Amino acid sequence: MARKIIKWLIALLGGVIGYGLVLLVTSLVKFDFSKLGYEIATYVAAVLLFFIIFYLSSEFFIDRVRKLIDKLDSDIKKLSVLDVILGTVGFLIGLGLSYIAVKIISGIKIPIVVDILSVIIYITVIMVSMAIAVRRKDDLEAYIRRYKSAGTDATKKFLDTSVIIDGRILDALRTGFIDGDLIVPSFVLEELQFIADSSDSMRREKGRRGLDILNQMTHEFKDQVRVVDFEKDKKTTVDLALLELTKKEGGVVMTNDYNLNKVAGVKSIRVLNINDLSSALMPVVLPGERFELQIVRQGKEPGQGVGFLNDGTMVVVEDGSNLVDSTQHVEVTSVLQTSAGRMVFVKIV
């Protein structure tokens, strides 16, 4: 019903346009149809002609307008508040500049030329001003981030999947050493759910563990930990989407993913790595130090044995592959420290 009404309205608009065109033509050529006795017939013919044309074309117009509205609606939803503010500022600046320019050309003695130039100036200057203003958004966001970095850049912490599954962040929260907002983007939660539904039993266990830990965090620290809806492009990976979101919001990433840590460094995004925190709190083991160690299994390389310190640090024992399940007196030869963890290399003494 509504579509039929719109079709008739479009047809009526066509009739009005036909009538207006006859008025325009007669005023330009200064021809009086009444002298020929065809004045009424001319107007009726024009109105009927454009009425029929617009009615027959109404389906095309309706479909085009609907698609345009859908596209505009989709584009508007993608706009941030900053886009709207900058666009409005650009519009007002363009409006002011256009007014000044039109005043300058108003001295031209040909009215129709002035009118045409005025329309062109207004449209062009306003569009260019809006485009320039919106394109400076990155500079403005960078300035805002620098302004915030004076003391609040770490108040927003965005959690990735690995740090939730790891679980140590919950213990760190309980100690009270982590302050500020801990934000879990909706696409990170979706990845956790995907892992929890995996056909691989190990991945499934990790995913379920992550969901359990997140559930505990949101209940114990409901004023600090929250899941927030953020849209992610389907072609963008979760890690890249997390980094883009963190950069846009001016926060920091919390992770224990070694590769994500490196990529964030390349993008100049601050990272709080749980492994770095854990390593910093581990007891210091120095080259030359001696202690008792139980060798629990063989290492990856030929001749190596593997044991563990009380804090879980892996210890690689030179020539210890044949001494599995025995306790040996060892001496530290070197310590390897990375964001992925710490490894201690020892020899039997």
* Domain termination site, one of 62, 78, 94: 78
pLDDT tens digits, 139-175 = 666 666 555 554 444 578 999 999 999 888 888 888 8
98: pLDDT strictly greater than 50? yes
pLDDT at 205: 92
What is the pLDDT, as a whole number, of residue 339?
56
Residues 188 and 298 grouped into a single domain: no
Q: What is the CATH number of the domain that holds 271?
A: 3.40.50.1010
The answer to whether residue 134 scores a pLDDT higher than 90 is no
Per-residue model confidence (pLDDT) at position 35: 54
Same domain, 322 and 234: no
What is the per-residue pLDDT across 270-290, written as a single tens digit (0 to 9) for each? 888 887 777 777 777 888 899
What average pLDDT score do residues 82-98 get? 82
Domain finish residue from 279, 300, 334: 279
Q: Is residue 199 part of a domain?
A: yes
Does position 61 have pLDDT exceeding 80, yes or no? no
Whether 238 and 249 map to the same domain: the answer is: yes
Query: Are 60 and 89 members of one domain?
Result: no
Does residue 142 fall inside a structural domain? no
Residue 60 has a pLDDT of: 78
pLDDT recorded at residue 150: 47
User: Measured between alpha carbons, how far is residue 322 from residues 290, 300, 315, 318, 331 in Å?
Assistant: 20, 13, 15, 11, 18
Joined tokens for residue 163: 């740090």
| pLDDT of res. 195 | 93
Spell out the residues 6+ positions from residue 133 whose beta carbon is closer than 8 angstroms to its own.
86, 87, 89, 90, 93
pLDDT at position 26 is: 67
Would you state the pLDDT for residue 208? 93
Q: Looking up tokens 């024992």, which residue turns up?
A: 317
- Structure-model confidence comparison of residues 129 and 280, the more confident one: 129
- Length of the chain (residues): 349
Residue 2 has pLDDT above 50, yes or no: yes
**261 and 169 in a common domain:** yes
Q: Which helix (H) or strand (E) holds 333?
A: strand 326-338
Share of the chain above pLDDT 90, in %: 21
Range with lowest mean pLDDT among 93-107, 187-201, 316-330: 93-107
Confidence at residue 41, expressed as pLDDT on a 0 to 100 scale: 72
pLDDT at 152: 41
Structure confidence at residue 345 (pLDDT): 93
Tell me what pLDDT residue 333 has: 93
Q: Mark which of 78, 94, 120 sits at the end of a domain.
A: 78
Q: Which range is most confident: 69-73, 106-110, 122-126, 294-298?
A: 294-298
Q: Are 167 and 261 in the same domain?
A: yes
Say whether pLDDT at 115 is over 50. Answer: yes
Domain that holds residue 66: 1-78
pLDDT at 330: 93
Task: Report pLDDT for 277.
Answer: 78
Please compute the mean of the pLDDT values over residues 109-128 and round it to a whole number.
77
SS3 283: coil
Query: Taking all residues of the chain, what is their mean pLDDT, rounded to a whole number?
Result: 81
Residue 269 in any domain: the answer is yes
Say if 163 falls within a structural domain.
Answer: yes
Higher pLDDT, 325 or 54: 325
| Residue 211, Cβ density class (10 Å: 0-12 exposed, 13-18 middle, ≥19 buried) | middle
The answer to whether residue 110 is domain-embedded is yes
Q: How many domains does the chain have?
A: 4
* Strands 271-273 vs 252-255: parallel, antiparallel or unpaired: parallel
Asked if the structure places residue 212 within a domain, the reply is yes
The answer as to whether 140 is a domain residue is: no
Burial 309-343 (b: 16+ CB within 10 A, else e): eeeebebbbbebbebeeeebebebeebeeebebbe
The pLDDT confidence band at residue 231, using thresholds 50, 70 and 90, is confident
- The per-residue pLDDT for 269 is 86
Banded pLDDT at 209 (limits 50, 70, 90)? very high
Q: Is the confidence at residue 33, as pLDDT, over 90?
A: no
Shared domain for 13 and 107, answered yes or no, is: no
In this structure, the answer to whether residues 192 and 234 fall within a common structural domain is yes
Residues 168, 208, single domain; the answer is: yes
Whether residue 100 lies inside any domain: the answer is yes
* Same domain for 288 and 256: no
188 and 274: one domain? yes
Answering whether pTM is above 0.75, one says no
241 and 330 belong to one structural domain: no
